[in-house]
Amino acid sequence: MAYSDTEMSSRDELRALQDERLAETVARAYENVSFYRNALDDAGVSPDDIEGVEDISHLPFTTKEDFRDEYPDGMFAVPREDIRRIHASSGTTGKPKIVSYTESDLDVWREVMARSLAAAGVEPGHVVQNAYGYGLFTGGLGFHDGVEELGACVIPVGGGNTARQIDMLRDLESDVLACTPSYCLYLVEAAEERGIDPRDLALSTVVIGAEPFTDPMREEIEDALDVTAVDVYGLSEIIGPGVSIECAEVQEGLHVWEDHFYPEIIDPATGEVLPEGEEGELVLTSLTKEALPVLRYRTGDMTSLTYEKCDCGRTAVRMGNVTGRADDLLIVRGVNVYPSQIEDVMVDLDAVAPHYRIDLTRDGNLDRMKITVEYHEEFEDSPDELRDRIRVRLDEILDVTPDELEVVEPGAIDRTEVGKVKRVYDHR
Ligand code: DLL
């Protein structure tokens, strides 16, 4: 069931709202943020040139580097006293990106998160166990506020604390679990170790996001817990979780809340806008943000868009699941490899557990790729034979074969209890 009427508004109504909001956002950013004023002046664009989304491609892109260069608050568009909250997103390198919210921004966030949860099938009265990290990460508080806004009950367990987490799931009969896909799989294992069959838990839905996962990984989660696993997407620079989500009814693509965030897909190499259906880098523009308006932000996330009507009745455009980022690309001996390609073939095999790591090293001038993967608890054949099977499948899809492929016993690969999982270790 839709949370708000806006979700069903006609494409024409939506477009009119976007046109109006984009023009306002550009004017506000130009007036209040010297970074945007300079960027638009350099591009020879005046805010008056932007009458609606039709004109958006005249605007320059904003990048992660811009956020870092403007650290800590160079991108803020309101005075300090109007800011009610600050979050930060720490990348693997460099300074964190600092993001801020006015009261009105927090209202928008609560609204889009409540819509997202409703789309995932969460209802007032449900108990939602929130295992996203609280603190500077946007996951914890973003979900927390959305659950309360929807009128459901939130258990703010946060990340980690796995033993207590499992007790809560069992004793409080949580209906919904919100966490990263990798942590969800870890909870399954930890429950089994404690003699609890995860399928006996009351859970009906898990809302997974914050990191990429492939379809076989999702199937593992759905099977192990007997739930519907719904993909939620978002990023701190735009708001946090709640930029888009799958509807539980159809689960084919994530509805982008387009009255607040305008999506485009570009060719990451040329910056050219790509037509509907083509895969490229997602670019997002905030349409209502006050504290931190963001124009044409290059997310680095690879996906595509479809405007086809969804059977759930929501009119918002859908983006495909993000299985990788433009900068995930590994170049091994000159050949392009995406980690998601490797995950897709390996995890699809029943004998393989959804835990793996990829290590890249350099031997003289030569790149070496090692893949380590776990076999499933129930797997009883020889790991050597499994290794040969995986190798054949990898050979079919990759243009470069791993130099080493190790099949290890269940539990041998380190698990991530807090934060986002890391699967690729580039030691080169
Ligand atoms: O991860 C916000 C979030 C919290 C989303 C909880 C969903 C659930 P950041 O830490 O700023 O924000 O990281 C944003 O994470 O650009 C993607 O690369 C990745 N990401 C987020 N959601 C998904 C998803 C939060 N559903 C970055 N699938 C984004 C794949 C995702 N990648």
**Amino acid, single-letter form, for residue 273:** V
- Which of the listed residues 290, 306, 325 is the one where a domain comes to its end? 325
> pTM for the complete prediction?
0.94
Of 290, 325, 360, the residue at which a domain comes to its end is 325
User: Could you count the other beta carbons within 10 Å of the beta carbon of residue 345?
Assistant: 19
Q: In what order do the strands lie in the sheet with 228-235?
A: 153-155, 127-130, 176-179, 205-209, 228-235, 240-246, 254-256, 318-319, 305-306
pLDDT at 93: 64
Q: Is the CB of 180 under 6 A from ligand 1?
A: no
pLDDT tens figures, 168-201:
999 999 999 999 999 999 999 999 999 999 999 9
The sheet with strand 280-286 has its strands ordered as 261-266, 280-286, 297-303
Q: Which CATH number do you get for residue 366?
A: 3.30.300.30
Q: Evaluate: CB of 244 within 6 angstroms of ligand 1.
A: no
Q: Could you read off the pLDDT of 26-59 as tens digits, one per residue?
A: 999 999 999 999 999 999 999 999 999 999 999 9
pLDDT at 92: 61
163 and 309 share one domain: yes
Angstrom distance (rounded) from CA 53 to CA 60: 14
Regarding whether 380 and 358 lie in a shared domain, the answer is: yes
**What number of CA atoms fall less than 13 Å from residue 288's CA on the CB side?**
19
d(CA 93, CA 297): 19
Q: Is ligand 1 within 6 A of the CB of residue 139?
A: yes
Q: What is the gyration radius of the CA atoms in the chain, in angstroms?
A: 22
Taking CA atoms only, the protein residue closest to ligand 1 atom 6 is 139
Q: From the alpha carbon of 212, which atom of ligand 1 is closest?
A: 30
Retrieve residue 176's tokens: 């919904």
Report pLDDT for 323. Answer: 87
User: Are 119 and 174 in the same domain?
Assistant: yes
E strands, 12-152, where? 85-89, 97-101, 127-130
Q: What residue owns the CA closest to ligand 1's atom 28?
A: 212
* Same-domain pairing of 279 and 140: yes
Note whether 305 and 366 are same-domain residues: no
Residue 384: in which H helix or E strand, if any? helix 383-397
pLDDT of residue 325: 86
By three-state DSSP, how is residue 235 classified? strand
Structure tokens that stand for 103 in this block: 């009261």
From the CB of 211, is ligand 1 less than 6 Å away? Answer: yes
Same domain, 126 and 210: yes
Residues 165 and 177 in one domain: yes
Question: Checking DSSP bridges between strand 352-363 and strand 366-375, what pairing results, if any?
Answer: antiparallel
CA 125, chain centre distance (Å): 26
pLDDT tens digits in sequence order for the chain, 428 residues long? 899 999 999 999 999 999 999 999 999 999 999 999 999 999 999 999 999 999 999 999 999 999 999 999 999 999 999 999 999 997 666 789 999 999 999 999 999 999 999 999 999 999 999 999 999 999 999 999 999 999 999 999 999 999 999 999 999 999 999 999 999 999 999 999 999 999 999 999 999 999 999 999 999 999 999 999 999 999 999 999 999 999 999 999 999 999 999 999 999 999 999 999 999 999 999 999 999 999 999 999 999 999 999 999 999 999 999 988 888 889 999 899 999 999 998 999 999 999 999 999 999 989 999 999 999 988 999 999 999 999 999 988 888 889 999 999 999 999 999 899 999 999 99
Contacts of 12 (CB under 8 A, 6+ apart): none
Q: How far is the CA of 17 from the centre of ligand 1 (A)?
A: 26
Q: Please give the Cα distance from 217 to 377 (Å, whole number).
A: 16
Domain count, the chain: 2
Q: Are residues 287 and 393 in the same domain?
A: no
The range of the structural domain enclosing residue 412 comes to 329-426
Residue type, 374: E
328 lines ligand 1 (CB under 6 A): no
Q: Which two tokens stand for residue 173?
A: 């009969």
Nearest-CA residue for atom 9 of ligand 1: 235
Looking at the DSSP bridge assignments, the partners of residue 230 are 207
d(CA 64, CA 395): 35
Residues 171 and 35 in one domain: yes
Of 325, 355, 381, at which residue does a domain stop?
325
Using CA positions, which residue lies closest to atom 20 of ligand 1?
A: 210
**Strand (E) positions, 64-116?**
85-89, 97-101
Rounded to the nearest angstrom, the distance between the alpha carbon of 87 and the centre of ligand 1 is: 14
Does one domain contain both 268 and 342? no
Residue 339 CB–ligand 1 contact under 6 Å: no
For residue 207, the ligand 1 atom closest to its alpha carbon is 8
Q: How far is the CA of 234 from the centre of ligand 1 (A)?
A: 5
What pLDDT digit, counting tens, does each position of 254-300 carry? 999 999 999 999 999 999 999 999 999 999 999 999 999 999 999 99
Cβ of residue 240 lying under 6 Å from some atom of ligand 1: yes
Do residues 200 and 228 make contact, with C-beta atoms less than 8 angstroms apart?
Answer: no
> What are the DSSP E strand ranges found in 238-386?
240-246, 254-256, 261-266, 280-286, 297-303, 305-306, 318-319, 330-332, 335-337, 352-363, 366-375
Atom 12 in ligand 1: residue holding the nearest Cα:
235
> Helix 215-225 to helix 181-193 angle, to the nearest 10 degrees?
30
Check: CB of residue 233 under 8 Å from CB of residue 239.
no
Residues 124 and 189 in one domain: yes
201 and 342 part of one domain: no
Q: Report which protein residue has its CA nearest ligand 1's atom 1.
A: 210
**Domain holding 42: CATH number?**
3.40.50.12780
The answer to whether the CB of 344 is under 6 A from ligand 1 is no
